[in-house]
Amino acid sequence: MQLAFEVGDFPAYTGYDGQLFVNRYGAGRDQKYKVQFWNDDIAIEIIGGVIDDDKKNKVLTVTFTDEACVDLYTKAPIAAVSFVLVRTPY
């Protein structure tokens, strides 16, 4: 998996190779989304976002706005991030 991002001290780049985990987090109306990315140099986690689940078209859109990006292992804050995650079956 390759990821393009700019977070904290990590430079903007469009080819970070590593592992990506995305899934729902929590339950009920307060449900959020969890995004984790890691490789030998980077390990980040973002939990939050506003979920828009278009079940008819099987498209999930999660809009993250000024969410905390933290170190995956220590949970130390790195930066506030904003992005849109789109999952489709194609």
Domain boundaries, the chain: 2-87
- The number of residues making up the chain comes to 90
Task: Give me Rg for the CA atoms of the chain.
Answer: 13
- The whole-model pTM stands at 0.81
Q: List Cβ neighbours of 30 (8 Å cut-off, separation of 6 or more).
A: none
* Whole-number pLDDT of residue 71: 94
* Whole-number pLDDT of residue 90: 78
* Whole-number pLDDT of residue 5: 55
Q: List Cβ neighbours of 72 (8 Å cut-off, separation of 6 or more).
A: 36, 38, 43, 44, 45
Determine the Cα–Cα distance for residues 69 and 44; give it in Å rounded to an integer.
Answer: 7
* pLDDT tens digits, one per residue of 11-67: 555 567 889 999 999 998 889 999 999 988 889 999 999 999 999 999 999 999 999
* Whole-number pLDDT of residue 2: 42
Determine the Cα–Cα distance for residues 79 and 47; give it in Å rounded to an integer.
Answer: 13
Tokens of 49: 């976002």
